[in-house]
Amino acid sequence: MKILVTGGAGYIGSHTVIELQAAGHDVVVVDNLVNSSEIALKRVEKITGKEIPFYKVDIRDRESIDRVVHQFKFGCCIHFAGLKAVGESVFLPWEYYNNNITGTLVLLDVLKKNSCKNIIFSSSATVYGNPAVVPITEECPKGECTNPYGQTKSMLEQVMMDMQKADVVSSDPNPWNIVLLRYFNPIGAHKSGTIGENPNGVPNNLMPYITQVAVGKLERLGIFGCDYDTPDGTGVRDYIHVVDLARGHVKSLKAIEEKCGVEIFNLGTGVGYSVLDVVKAFEEENGVKVPYVIKERRAGDIAECYSDPSKAYEKLGWKAEYGIVEMCRDSWKWQKNNPNGFEE
Ligand code: NAD
Ligand code: UFG
């Protein structure tokens, strides 16, 4: 299938491009490079041995995005483009709503006008808020999002569901097919160690913080709280290897091909690890020390969040193959080989 990948130069997008090409799909990437580097795509080309048509386009720029969509006649769009820093979104709400909401609205309109009404959207487990029960199934109600970033994911899910519903109600002969993928906590990197997550400034997320401590860029990890109601008191999350996550997108094309209407899938492993579990696994697998200090709880954090990923297995035949050992190994390989990210 010919697939438009928005945000394809970013962390999850670049890994997904590899898996799409490996599965025989034709990929075109658009990205405005606000949080990524074209070097990532060059490295992907090296890994796959295939060229990636790339357009430096902001998805809010209707004319430019229309030109690309019109030219290629895509079978599906996989939509990663967006701003994603939870903490930053609290201080820059307008920028987050403008980029993520306006950008997606323009993209959806352009896709529709060009009769490409198939989309796979990067949503997040954050839409569940503080879950009443774990593991979280797709049936669990959405919860309160405590930050503008999370709001954009929740709102955009609703926008797309409403657009699909309108097509059904009006018996549109070419209705939308929409797959909403709720990612849990993606970490890890491609096994080559040449692409990976490259956060700007001091990382907010656990794994990039750990790897930057291990490589000597940061002194020690701060663990946000040790008094949660979890086995060791630290927060529990469902970490998923980014390559497994990428493959989840390839498998989701099956739902699109089967004209799914709207489908929601959790993409996680179903296993929860605490912060201390991750630190220990990282140290053991890589033979490096990660000094840490216990700090106050971080505002907005929840105790436990992990998925029931069985729907994706039943309907798409997808399940995560890698465990915490591979996640720690590959995150470290990327960081060790690229202490300054994509700077060459
Ligand atoms: P990323 O920042 O590495 O990738 C996003 C890409 O989108 C970047 O390359 C950026 O330059 C591009 N982009 C942003 N705004 C754009 C615009 N207006 N026009 C064109 N390109 C634009 O982030 P990621 O971790 O790869 O995340 C990909 C998607 O998955 C995002 O939508 C994110 O919200 C979502 N998500 C990520 C996580 C996570 O923990 N990484 C968890 C849940 C959901
Ligand atoms: N943590 C620390 N120290 C740090 C960073 C994190 O102790 O320096 C802890 C957190 O308190 C939490 C766990 O590590 O218990 C994971 O935190 P992350 O910041 O890595 O991830 P979150 O679960 O908070 O959020 C991430 C993304 C969200 C996404 C969510 C679910 O940042 O965008 O996963 O997919 F919505």
What does 55-84 look like in DSSP terms, one character per residue? EE--TT-HHHHHHHHHHH--SEEEE--S--
> CA-CA distance, 32 to 36, in Å (whole number)?
8
Residues forming beta bridges with residue 223, ordered by sequence position = 294
Is the Cβ atom of 146 under 6 angstroms away from ligand 2? no
Ligand 1 pocket test: which of 30, 31, 145, 243 has the largest number of ligand atoms within 8 Å of its C-beta?
A: 31
pLDDT for 313 equals 98
Atom number in ligand 2 closest to CA 300: 24
Strands 236-237 and 304-305, by their bridges, are parallel
Q: How far is CA 92 from CA 81, 83, 149, 203, 321, in A?
A: 17, 11, 10, 17, 37
Q: How far is CA 1 from CA 27, 81, 189, in A?
A: 8, 20, 25
Which residue's alpha carbon is at the smallest distance from atom 14 of ligand 1? 82
| Segment holding 237, helix H or strand E | strand 236-237
pLDDT for 200 equals 87
pLDDT for 153 equals 98
How many CB atoms are closer than 10 A to CB 67? Answer: 14
Structure tokens at 232: 């060791």
DSSP annotation of 292 reads E
Q: What are phi and psi of 46, to 5 degrees?
A: -65, -40
Q: How far is CA 98 from CA 33, 64, 276, in A?
A: 17, 18, 37
Listed residue (298, 295, 324, 336) closest to 211, CA to CA:
336
Listed residue (235, 299, 296) closest to 91, CA to CA:
299
Listed residue (256, 67, 75, 233) closest to 180, CA to CA:
256
Q: Residue type for 45, please?
A: E
Atom number in ligand 1 closest to CA 79: 32
What number of CA atoms fall less than 13 Å from residue 169's CA on the CB side? Answer: 6
DSSP annotation of 298 reads P
Active site residues: 149
- Contact status, residue 207 vs residue 197, Cβ threshold 8 Å: yes
pLDDT for 146 equals 84
Q: How far is the CA of 171 from the centre of ligand 1 (A)?
A: 33
Is the Cβ atom of 210 under 6 angstroms away from ligand 2? no
Is the Cβ atom of 239 under 6 angstroms away from ligand 2? no
> CA-CA distance, 168 to 162, in Å (whole number)?
10
What number of CA atoms fall less than 13 Å from residue 156's CA on the CB side? Answer: 34
Residue with tokens 């491009």: 17
How many CB atoms are closer than 10 A to CB 36? Answer: 22
Is the Cβ atom of 103 under 6 angstroms away from ligand 1? yes
Tens of pLDDT, residue by residue, the chain (344 residues): 999 999 999 999 999 999 999 999 999 999 999 999 999 999 999 999 999 999 999 999 999 999 999 999 999 999 999 999 998 999 999 999 999 999 999 999 999 999 999 999 999 999 999 998 999 999 999 999 989 999 999 999 999 999 999 999 999 999 999 999 999 999 999 999 999 999 988 999 999 999 999 999 999 999 999 999 999 999 999 999 999 999 999 999 999 999 999 999 999 999 999 999 999 999 999 999 999 999 999 988 999 999 999 999 999 999 999 999 999 999 999 999 999 999 87
pLDDT for 344 equals 76
Strands 236-237 and 221-224, by their bridges, are unpaired
Listed residue (192, 239, 187) closest to 334, CA to CA:
192
Which residue's alpha carbon is at the smallest distance from atom 9 of ligand 1? 10
Structure tokens at 109: 């309109």
